[in-house]
Amino acid sequence: MLPMTPQEEKLKEHQSISKVYDQIAESFDTKRKRPWEDVSEFIETIDENKLTLDLGCGNGRHTRLLLKKKIDTIGMDVSFNILKTALENELYSVTPLLTGVINADVSDLSFKDKSFDRIIMIAVFHHLDNLQKRKQALQEIFRIMKSKGRLLISCWLRTHPRFAKEDLKTIIEQGEKDVLVPWTMPDKTKIMRYYYLFEKQEFEDLIKNANFRIISSRESKHNLFIIAEK
């Protein structure tokens, strides 16, 4: 058996994404306040009577937009600390409008079949660290979505400026798809976050293979946004 490369050694030891976001929750909240335009546009298409799941809601910046539009919304995230941060900060003034918040993993969703009209999953899917988890997550999303329900899902692209920086540039140019991206804490400590770098066609194929129909697929600010229908 060939010895592991330094990159493979790092990946072997990476922390679960729940532990990562538990550590960076407060720091993340201070740096991720502004909702993304592509998500805001999708939310504008959702009617008040459409039960919506913000899957991997993070600090709640998009959950807040849903609630302000009086859309029945559940926020869910694998990190307990980031949910706590969301409730204390972004969602403090709109908490009475929340249908609920849930601390759970995307690959095992504790909802009944055909529960949701709309689901958004923003900058989450690329944190799933193997193909089985990705397939399982999409199967679960498909299961809990109503017929004709719609999903907005996004991931980073290889062209993201973060990957042009010196610490990652070489392995990206070599075609590496499993990468660890540091989050710098206020005390300059670096917490490593796992990312899988999708190719556009690869991401689309996964969604189609989960029986979704792709409505639109567009690149925006080095992210790929896909709207898919059950």
Query: Domain of 101: which CATH number?
Result: 3.40.50.150
What is the number of alpha carbons within 13 Å of residue 68 lying toward its C-beta?
14
What is the C-alpha to C-alpha distance for residues 10 and 180, in angstroms, rounded to an integer? 8
Assess if residue 162 is contained within a domain.
Answer: no
59: left (phi over 0), alpha (psi -120 to 50) or beta: alpha
Question: What would the two tokens of residue 142 be?
Answer: 């498909």
Assess if residue 170 is contained within a domain.
Answer: no
pLDDT at 107 over 60: yes
For the stretch 134-177, pLDDT in tens is: 999 999 999 999 999 999 999 998 888 888 887 888 888 888 88
Assess if residue 193 is contained within a domain.
Answer: no
Question: What would the two tokens of residue 18 be?
Answer: 């729940």
What is the C-alpha to C-alpha distance for residues 120 and 87, in angstroms, rounded to an integer? 19
End-to-end CA distance of the chain: 44
Assess if residue 138 is contained within a domain.
Answer: yes
Containing domain of residue 142, as a range?
16-157+198-229
| CA–CA distances in Å: residue 212 to residues 36, 107, 143, 147 | 24, 17, 11, 11
- Which of 200, 171, 188 shows the shortest CA–CA distance to 180? 171
Assess if residue 24 is contained within a domain.
Answer: yes
Predicted structure pTM score: 0.92
Question: Judging by DSSP bridges, how do beta strands 190-196 and 178-184 pair with one another?
Answer: antiparallel
**Amino acid identity of 61?**
R
Domain count, the chain: 1
Assess if residue 188 is contained within a domain.
Answer: no
Assess if residue 8 is contained within a domain.
Answer: no
- Which of 119, 58, 115, 51 shows the shortest CA–CA distance to 87? 58
pLDDT at 12 over 70: no
What is the C-alpha to C-alpha distance for residues 58 and 180, in angstroms, rounded to an integer? 19
**Amino acid identity of 190?**
K
Assess if residue 185 is contained within a domain.
Answer: no
Split at pLDDT 50, 70, 90, the class of 15 is: confident
pLDDT of residue 99: 92
pLDDT of residue 208: 98
Question: What would the two tokens of residue 83 be?
Answer: 């949910």
pLDDT of residue 121: 98
- Which of 57, 87, 58, 88 shows the shortest CA–CA distance to 74? 57
